[in-house]
Amino acid sequence: MSFIGKRRAYGQHFLRDKGLCARIAAETIRLALCAGCRDILEIGPGKGALTRPLVELIEKPIPPHPIRLVLVERDPVLAASLRESIENRPVTLVEGDFLEITPSGWLPAGNFAVAANLPYSCATAMVEKLARMPDRIVFMLLMFQAEVGRRLRAEAGNRDRGSLSVWMQNRWEVSKFAAVPSGAFSPPPRVSSEVLLFKPRPSPMVPLPGSDPDGAKWENLLKSAFAHRRKMLRSGLPARWRNALDASGVDGTKRAESLDWEEWRALYGATVETD
């Protein structure tokens, strides 16, 4: 695998920091064992920098139960190399684009964990797809461009907080696991990265009622509230929700980034009633 260069068509930056990979792998296995999780999904394993320490750990006789690793890799050259290296090991390789293949092509039978260095170009789309399964995923350790990571974990009052922050944190607890310098990759990107730990909440901070089972109204509210980030809510929200804002009791002079969970519950409840 070490003879494979950068695959320009896919724009990869391959992890090369063995210490970081060992740390991520160790925490992944530790959390999986604590949760009784038997399957770990790795998206975009590339040259196997994270795959190798994961496999080494799950092959040890120490775990109280066996753990299986599922890899999803879309680059055919990298997939071929990975296939050779995982032969006769507790690893399943699925070749294809994670965003395009159906869940039946990669989804383990029971609950599972996710560990991955996500490609910058589609990391947001990938984590959104994963985040819609809080009842199946016991935790996720994912690497992002640092700017995206800050947005995902930004708390109320932080300028980085946006619709993605609120939507994600409604169902997931998000925390920073590690800062990653550009030198941890080959070739090094122009930006730094960070690894985030996602743990599903027992229940959402803003529950979705039966009238909005798929969360479409909730997502529309978030997109509308953050569409004009520097505007106050009473100026930025669509006209059809101005009465809902008044009815909610939320201060209309606030910006969306400053709302706490109690205010989001009130505002969402009022908009659902008016729609």
- The answer, yes or no, to whether residue 109 has pLDDT greater than 50, is yes
What global pTM score does this model have?
Answer: 0.92
- Between the two ends of the chain, the Cα-to-Cα distance in Å is 55
Instruction: Return the domain boundaries, the chain.
Output: 14-200, 216-274
- As assigned by CATH, the class of the 216-274 domain is mainly alpha
- As assigned by CATH, the class of the 14-200 domain is alpha beta
What are the tens digits of pLDDT across the range 4-52? 334 344 456 889 999 999 999 999 999 999 999 999 999 999 999 999 9
Assign 60 a pLDDT band (cuts: 50, 70, 90). Answer: confident
Contacts of 209 (CB under 8 A, 6+ apart): 272
What are the tens digits of pLDDT across the range 224-247? 999 998 899 999 999 888 899 999
CA distances in angstroms from 145 to 91, 152, 170, 257, listed in the order given: 27, 11, 22, 21
Other CB atoms within 10 Å distance of the CB of residue 194: 20
- The answer, yes or no, to whether residue 65 has pLDDT greater than 80, is no
What 3-state class would DSSP assign to 202? coil
What 3-state class would DSSP assign to 167? helix
